Amino acid sequence: MKFIVSTNDLLKQLDLVDGVVVSKPLIPILENFLFEIKDGNLKITTTDLETFMTTSLKVEADSDIDIAVPSKVSLETLKNLPTQPVTFSVDEASKSIEINTGNGRYKLTGNDAKDFPKFPVLESDNSIVLSAKVLSKAINKTIFATGTDELRINLTGVYCQVSDSNINFVATDANRLVRVQRKGFNNGFETSFILPKKAMNLLKSSLPNDDTPVKIDFNTSYAFFSFAGVSLICRLIDERYPDYTAVIPTENPNKLSINRNDFISAMKRVSIYANKTTNQVRLKIAGSEMTISAEDYDFANEATERLSCNYEGSDIEIGFNARFLTEMLNAMDTEDVRMEFSMPNRAGLLLPAENDSDEDILMLIMPMMINV
């Protein structure tokens, strides 16, 4: 049994799904790509038992073929070959695979496709359709704020909250929180679920930057994403998400507006001098000026910068983790941003100067105690 395919075309599809493969899987078969050829269409599947991902492409095949192909060896071989047609020959009895090029022959041993885990069966009456660009933007603006503490596994994913007219994407690690609200839907139902970070990263790297429709189906255990010939199924995080709305302050009389790029640049320079353990910077705001400062007493390092801003409210001095605040600023895409505060020991809000009509972004960051 043989099939012919371009190295470049095959490599593009393998790169899409290779992120699912883990180096030390629970069972050896998970180190393989599942190749299934039917009527000249090659379907490629990978899984780690929590996430399943498939893609497909057209090939020249003399028959239908099912074989599990070692991922690492095959991928490295293709990466080191120039763009050219290659022939895969599969011996069904021995499961041996031979890759032939114009100048070389490479032989490896595959595995029985029957041993590869089966896709979960998804039964769902509800689905959501988003454009790839909208979903990609929501992931990019939230995933960096997810937690890493496995003892609080409910915070390690992106919370998707669906209402009749809106969809909220939420992430928090208990030090900061991001909520991206997409408006203008007519869902006709309400639900919520937590999407794991690995699946979100895979989507982030594979979604096209255009208006390609992405259909999202889901049940109590899995979410199913399908777009442009790619399918991804992920097991949902089976935990309760905290009531994030309870921590969002509503009374914030102190309001700051500032150029985002100027703010980021100053933060990067000043934070070099911050204590490497706390990474703390201070924001002192008075009148139309914000002073950013940091110090590391252990090495007698300190830095200060002043920036012009628009400010309404009482003079305030508040401390933040520089890395957290910079990541949040980088996730914004407006020229100017707003910050709102109430007191130095209360959470501050970071907002775009202007939200799109169909999008509402809110970011929250917890303050740090200022060492006097």
Report pTM: 0.93
pLDDT at 371 (0 to 100): 67
Extents of the domains making up the chain: 2-115, 127-175+183-241, 248-365
| Residue at token pair 């020991």 | 345
3-class DSSP state for residue 23?
coil
Q: What is the DSSP letter of 334?
A: S
Averaged pLDDT score across all residues of the chain: 95
pLDDT at 132 (0 to 100): 96
pLDDT at 354 (0 to 100): 87
CATH number of 127-175+183-241: 3.10.150.10
Q: Per-residue DSSP letters for 308-328?
A: E-EEESS-EEEEEEHHHHHHH
Q: How far is 371 from 62, CA to CA, in rounded Å?
A: 73
Interior angle at CA 128, CA 45 and CA 33, nearest 5: 5
| Helix-helix angle 132-142:197-206, to 10 degrees | 130
What lies within 8 Å, CB to CB, of 283 at 6+ separation is 290, 291, 292, 316, 317, 318, 319, 320
Q: Flag residues of the chain having pLDDT under 50.
A: none
Q: How far is 111 from 67, CA to CA, in rounded Å?
A: 6
Report H helices in the chain: 7-17, 71-79, 132-142, 197-206, 260-271, 322-331
Instruction: State which CATH number among 3.40.50.2000, 3.40.50.1000, 3.10.150.10, 3.40.50.920 fits the domain covering 248-365.
Output: 3.10.150.10
Q: How far is 345 from 311, CA to CA, in rounded Å?
A: 19
> 4 has which bridge partners?
60, 87
| 2-115 against 127-175+183-241: fold identical | yes
Q: What CATH architecture does domain 2-115 belong to?
A: Roll (3.10)
